[in-house]
């Protein structure tokens, strides 16, 4: 069976203009062109469009999606299972936030009491889930399941005051990284302070600190583009390598 561009657009709840663009960039090419010049899509293209939209919902760029789908190693079932896991994670995060918002509404109405910890519990969970989604697989491979679970548990048990201190430390870290980027001189007190601030920040969630583990972590910050982008994008300049170099120099 074949579908016209309008039928596909209606099924997928997207515009025909989007489908034409996908064809233009060779992301989704119609199976056939009718004698009258109309694009016709087969079931195979419908399945590919579903994959495209699923990946788009995860915030993946079109160029990356094309590389994924055109990879000969790509397997639809494995991709769908990955989508399911990501959606389950997202659902858990949303449920946690909804519970927090619901409690806050009841608290505001005077219907219940709410501890300080409860007021920001959902936001801690959201941050933990986001980190797990982005970096979970890599850090578990590097540091082991047990270490990461202990770290997550320590983070979730932070008091409101400690959580705020952790955020303040990270803010200070970026201020010092910005200063260090001006000279890129590791012999300065600013470079040592970058190391110390990052160490203090880590101690809020790491159950067992060691200099070697710290050095290994910052090496990952540079080797993995997602870690590097977090630091570089937030700073508005390249600072991930500066953080790595400062930690390697001063961690003992």
pTM for this entry: 0.49
Are 152 and 137 in contact by the 8 Å Cβ rule? The answer is: no
The CB-side HSE value for 61 (13 A sphere, CA atoms) comes to 3
Instruction: Look at the chain and report how many structural domains it folds into.
Output: 3
Q: What is the mean pLDDT of residues 135-154?
A: 73
| pLDDT-based confidence at residue 24 (cuts at 50, 70, 90) | very high
Same-domain pairing of 232 and 176? yes
Q: Between 166 and 175, whose confidence is greater?
A: 175
Are 4 and 38 in contact by the 8 Å Cβ rule? The answer is: yes
Same-domain pairing of 92 and 113? yes
Q: Which of 102, 128, 156 is the last residue of a domain?
A: 156
Q: Write down the pLDDT at residue 135.
A: 62
Same-domain pairing of 98 and 40? no
For residue 88, the enclosing domain spans 76-156
Same-domain pairing of 164 and 223? yes
What is the separation of C-alpha 113 from the centre of its chain, rounded to a whole number of angstroms? 33
Q: Where are the beta strands (DSSP E) in the chain?
A: 3-4, 32-33, 39-41
Strand ranges of the sheet holding 32-33, from the earlier edge strand across to the other edge? 3-4, 39-41, 32-33
pLDDT at 112 exceeding the cut of 90: no
Same-domain pairing of 128 and 206? no
Mean of pLDDT over the chain: 85
Which has the minimum average pLDDT: 29-43, 72-86, 104-118, 180-194?
104-118
Phi, psi angles (nearest 5°) of residue 29: -100, 130
Are 41 and 3 in contact by the 8 Å Cβ rule? The answer is: yes
């Amino acid at each position: 069976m074949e579908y016209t561009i309008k039928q596909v657009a209606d099924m997928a709840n997207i515009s025909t203009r989007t489908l034409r663009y996908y064809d233009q960039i060779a992301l989704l090419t119609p199976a056939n062109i009718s004698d009258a010049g109309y694009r016709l899509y087969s079931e195979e293209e419908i399945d590919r469009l579903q994959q495209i939209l699923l990946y788009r919902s995860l915030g993946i760029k079109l160029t990356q999606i094309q590389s994924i789908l055109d990879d000969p190693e790509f397997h639809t079932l494995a991709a769908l299972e990955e989508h399911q896991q990501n959606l389950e994670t997202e659902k858990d995060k949303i449920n946690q936030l909804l519970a927090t918002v619901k409690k806050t509404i009841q608290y505001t109405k005077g219907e219940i009491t709410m501890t300080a910890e409860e007021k920001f519990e959902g936001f801690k969970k959201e941050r933990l889930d986001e980190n797990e989604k982005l970096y979970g697989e890599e850090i578990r491979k590097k540091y082991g399941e047990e270490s990461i679970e202990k770290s997550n548990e320590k983070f979730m048990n932070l008091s409101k005051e400690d959580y705020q201190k952790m955020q303040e430390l990270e803010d200070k870290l970026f201020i010092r990284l910005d200063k260090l980027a001006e000279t890129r001189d590791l012999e300065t007190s600013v470079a040592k302070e970058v190391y110390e601030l990052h160490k203090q920040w880590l101690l809020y969630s790491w159950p067992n600190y060691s200099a070697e583990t710290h050095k290994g972590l910052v090496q990952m910050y540079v080797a993995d583009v997602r870690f590097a982008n977090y630091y570089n994008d937030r700073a508005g300049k390249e600072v991930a390598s500066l953080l790595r170099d400062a930690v390697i120099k001063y961690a003992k």
